[in-house]
Chain A
């Protein structure tokens, strides 16, 4: 894979991440976070290697990965749609937004669409309650949505 224009072996990248954090106390979570940021998810095979390098048990790492909602064991789709279902969004009709996203992308909650274009997640509050209902599409937050607006949004991204 390519990082800043140079071709790097993924395993070298992985090893580098582990070694950089490994002197810190309690480094397991920062290591896993950076691995996920780099590769998009934490594959079980990757857990084994981290465990070897960091002298931890793979079971322990697996227990962390499954405890925290942030970690993914499967690769995500090209686009990440996070539908906010916090209190304000819930009252403003977040379930309908969720339904519209499901219809439009074909991705079920927590899953990826068959064409691999979209992964959809439900999150409990993005903290933009005055703009409810809200969706985070990749890094961008979109507020005051209607089912129609969210459909347009998804269509526009899907065409890219």
Chain B
């Protein structure tokens, strides 16, 4: 018997949503029982725009990656390539640009191993870093290696990881806790979901190393409940690690004990803030508290606690195995290593990317992302979600590192990177984020609770064409007060989307305010939908979608829209197959 051919299917949430489970079934039907063929599931390959993905690996180690596979194509691939030996060239991935500028540290195993198999992880070098730490390094040496690496918190704020660990280690209280913050709540961000779905053991191993360095015997993973697949794979990983003795008592015979509990978040964005998250683990409403004392001194149940993000932990085993210097060779002077971004929006090649720090926005958008999908103009990127900002195309040469992004008015954030073309209305985008923070404010600080609501009301009237003289100045005043008078990051950064759009796209605000015009034709109150009688063939499809029965007409004759009834929802515009509806 020769070495097997391996057929891998990317089965993370994005892949499944694109139909990868059906592709897997189609392959299974053809390949089950075949000798020398091993059909495997894997996690995210990072190329969401090409999902579902199937990779065929020959015994000689050649890799063939098929993109946008359907069940029918899968059957063909199984018969012609896997069994027949002839690759189906037409469907092969042929776009090296997407990967050329990337460097995979965090995503080293994603899309390669089966996330539900601890053996796969072990074969890929898994749990060797904790073995090395336990056998060859003192906790102080582990922290020293992290210091050399320059790793900073990947949750957004960028606090040096080694320092957090050292402070927690040196804190006198007992017991000590570690927590993994997997409550990824930023809209437009799915890095942590992907890592947990694709390589959960790397996060567990990172936590083990952290626990050893800090002197913790107990830890928690706080994961967002909206990620059922990540929760499932984490549970499997925890059970497998416990069974193999990587969690529990006397790990690897070293005398080191550590175990982890999984807690599911209950749908509150503010719980991504560390003190709120700890309140939630304690079984209370997740409301942030004043710092100091910092969690390193007094965290969970008043004990010293170190809390890090998923991506931060996933970096740790790599750093221990390859050394801090190896990690520090990537990146810039003050931002070392790589960063994972969820690249989305109107971009040609969207997905999960990992790039060395210091790469420019332009390189990400054009070289990795392949530019704007629609053929329209590149307008802006939104970095950092509701706490971040919108940077215009003119700042595309800004390097992606903590300091440069902050200086430009955005933040590194957790890794959401949304690309917008000129069809996006920046006032609408600012309002979108503010709607979000108004909903998610926990209500503890007056400025965050009421100030954001006032800002929302102002933006609402501007987008309604009812803006008043002085509104923009009032927005800025409110923004500054909210930033200064809020306790936690949610409130302090909530005005950022408004402030950056005001700074870089003030003309759009002014068009709404003074000309009662939405240049991007997005804001409902400022646009009209009309039927072009020359193009309308009277099919009536629009009429069947209109929620207010504003569209009427006789079959096969041009229809018309009653402007008094129209709510400008735009459904008719979307469903019309003859481009007979125009928006002005």
Contact = CB atoms under 8 A, between A and B. Distances in A.
Nearest to A27: B283
A116 interface: no
B288 to A, nearest CB: 13
Contacts of A95: 569-570
Given A71-B266, A129-B342, A124 B436 contact: yes
A125 B575 contact: no
B327 interface: no
A2 interface: no
Given A99-B571, A128-B17, A129-B344, A25 B266 contact: no
Interface in A84-129: 85-88, 90-91, 93, 95-96, 99-100, 102-103, 123-129
A133 to B, nearest CB: 11
B312 to A, nearest CB: 19
A128 B14 contact: yes
A125 B187 contact: yes
Nearest to A54: B283
Interface residues on B, range: 35 or more
Contact of A68 (B266, B281, B282, B301): B266
Given A91-B345, A100-B545, A127 B184 contact: yes
Contacts of B440: 124
B227 interface: yes
A28 B188 contact: no
B571 A131 contact: no
Contacts of A87: 187-188, 344-345, 382, 385, 416, 418, 429, 432-433
Contacts of B269: 124
A77 interface: no
Interface string B1-41: 00000000000011011100000000000000000000000
**B194, B264, B442: most-surrounded residue (chain A CB, <10 A):** B264
A132 B416 CA distance: 14
Given A70-B267, A91-B424, A25 B282 contact: yes
Interface in B325-347: 342, 344-346
Contacts of B283: 25-29, 64
Interface residues of A, number: 49
B332 to A, nearest CB: 27
B190 A127 contact: yes
A61 to B, nearest CB: 10
A146 B571 CA distance: 9
Given A67-B286, A90-B432, A33 B266 contact: yes
Interface in A46-75: 63-64, 67-71
A36 B49 CA distance: 36
Contact of A96 (B14, B424, B574): B574
Contacts of A134: 17
Contacts of B49: 130
B570 A126 contact: no
A28 B439 CA distance: 24
Nearest to B264: A33
B266 A69 contact: yes
Interface string B542-584: 0001010000000000000000000001110011000000000
A42 to B, nearest CB: 11
Contact of A30 (B263, B284, B442, B569): B263
B435 to A, nearest CB: 9
Interface in B261-297: 263-269, 280-286
Contact of A99 (B190, B227, B569): B569
A12 interface: no
Contact of B268 (A28, A69, A140, A144): A69
Nearest to A100: B571
Interface in A28-44: 28-30, 32-33
Contact of A86 (B187, B263, B280, B350): B187
B225 A88 contact: no
B155 interface: no
Contacts of B420: 91
B428 to A, nearest CB: 8
B189 interface: yes
Contacts of A91: 345-346, 418, 420, 424, 429
B509 to A, nearest CB: 18
Contacts of A29: 263, 266, 280, 283
Interface in B155-202: 184-190, 193-194
Interface string B412-436: 0000101010001000010011001
B48 interface: yes
B226 interface: yes
Contact of B187 (A68, A69, A70, A124): A124
A102 B547 contact: yes
Contacts of A154: none
B351 interface: yes
A48 to B, nearest CB: 18
Contact of B193 (A88, A127, A132): A127
B125 interface: no
Contacts of B547: 99, 102-103
A27 to B, nearest CB: 6
B567 to A, nearest CB: 9
**B193, B283, B569, B574: most-surrounded residue (chain A CB, <10 A):** B283
A128 B16 CA distance: 10
Contact of B17 (A69, A142, A151): A142
Nearest to A139: B228
Interface of B: 13-14, 16-18, 48-49, 51, 184-190, 193-194, 225-228, 263-269, 280-286, 301, 342, 344-346, 350-351, 382, 385, 416, 418, 420, 424, 429, 432-433, 436, 439-440, 442, 545, 547, 569-571, 574-575
14 contacts: A29-B283, A64-B283, A85-B187, A88-B418, A93-B570, A96-B571, A99-B547, A124-B440, A127-B189, A127-B342, A128-B48, A130-B350, A139-B228, A141-B13
